[in-house]
A and B are shown apart, each in its own frame.
Chain A
Amino acid sequence: MSTLVFLEHHGNELQKGSLGVLSKAAQLGVGDVAAVLVGSGVEPLASEAGKFGAATVYVADDPRLDAPLPQPRVDALARLVEQHGFENVLFAQSILSADVAAGLAARLEAGLNWQLLDVVAQDGAIVGKQSALGDSVVVDVGWRSTPRLALFRSGAFDPVAHGGAGTVETFEVEFAEHSLAAEMLEQAHEESTGPSIEDADVIVAGGRGLGEPEKFGLLEELAKALGGAVAATRAVVDAGWYPYATQVGQTGKTVSPTLYVACGISGAIQHKVGMQASKVIVAINKDANAPIFEYADLGVVGDLHQIVPKLTELVRQRKS
């Protein structure tokens, strides 16, 4: 069985998630493991991947692969898979790689399984452990043909360096016309200022249930009383209510405070992956069906505008 792992990089760094998937592929020990790295000026990063278990690292270095857009990467991966006949193509889930994987699935008529927590080798194939229905069930998923495409959840595997060295092989990509039709005008300005939430022992987080940006003031008061920091969901960060630096979740920070108080947050899995390691989770949400109640240690069905100010007052009294 031969396996190809897509390596994502940002700046001069290979992403931890994809190195984790690469390490896992190597650990499975079921055949050749290669990695693919595409971008512009990325060749120096390639040898790094050898340490994590790639016998060969295929590199496409092309200015048209500079911007992290998915469609040109579909061309690159499709070519490699067709040329070398990889049976498994594995990705660490991210904004970029999810689109690459799905585009590749359509191009190659290949099966794609996502939200995988783990993978095992079984009867000459692989079987994925998929978290489904908002984490309420884990199912074994398979593929009915090759190549088998898989997206692993962020943090599924830790990178393990074995200290090996991979052979670097470059390849050329022929681009489809539509693949170059989207253009990156501005790219991901690094997050600017904002308080650091990663070291906070207590986090009070707010979502769209706050109703308006000014209501973050309620959370700041509570956070102050508890001696903690304020965090936010993507929905409100996107809307400009609170800084990106405070966002928790798949595309934000991963936090593990002693106490996480979620106010007006539905608890989507992409938020959950960033805060599920919190020791104690308290959630206030007016919708009894909100997914967050599935994993909050204490869930309160109620209006945050009523509850939070009272809570702040009680905490203050207790502490004084």
Chain B
Amino acid sequence: MDDAAGKLLERYKQGDTDALGELVELYRRPLYGFILRMTEGDGAADDIFQDVWLRAIRKIGSFRRGSFLSWLFRIAHNLVIDRARRAGRIVLLDGGEDARTDGMPEDRIADTAPDPSDSAANRDIGDRIKCAVGHLPPEQREVFLMRFEADLTFREIAGIQGTSINTALARMQYALEKMRSELGPIYYEEVNDHEKQKRD
């Protein structure tokens, strides 16, 4: 756990409620970003974000060591799956290379992202990437977002998903592969231009 979060958590445990407010703010972007992308089009991100914190507050005494953010993501992961299960969104996604997990609740999180080819010309790279992320199978999307959105390590991601590091890594590689093929060569031209601009 990073120092800032550790100190805030300690302050909250000693009765300083404002410290929790700071903690919520500190992790708002990665956590909310992850939930938003996992529930794209569902409109449930606000509720899940709130529930993650309510559950965290209730269980904060049981948090001992390790990364607090990773702990929050574990709660978020469970809530996203619970929500998909309750909503009965039985949309079995293409298992692809990860067909071993077919039938798990994770696989039932619907793909709600718009088609990336829809008026692609009107969207910038960010929107197209967001769209492509929405098309990833949930378990790959989760690894991709946990890694890129929240900077969690593969060990932490594997712990949250209950898999091995190798599986988490493989899911990330499949996700990258799908992103590349979905975004196509135009994306790489733009990325290269972007990089060139940055260098200049």
Do they bind each other?
no
Residues of chain B whose beta carbon lies under 8 Å from any beta carbon of chain A: none
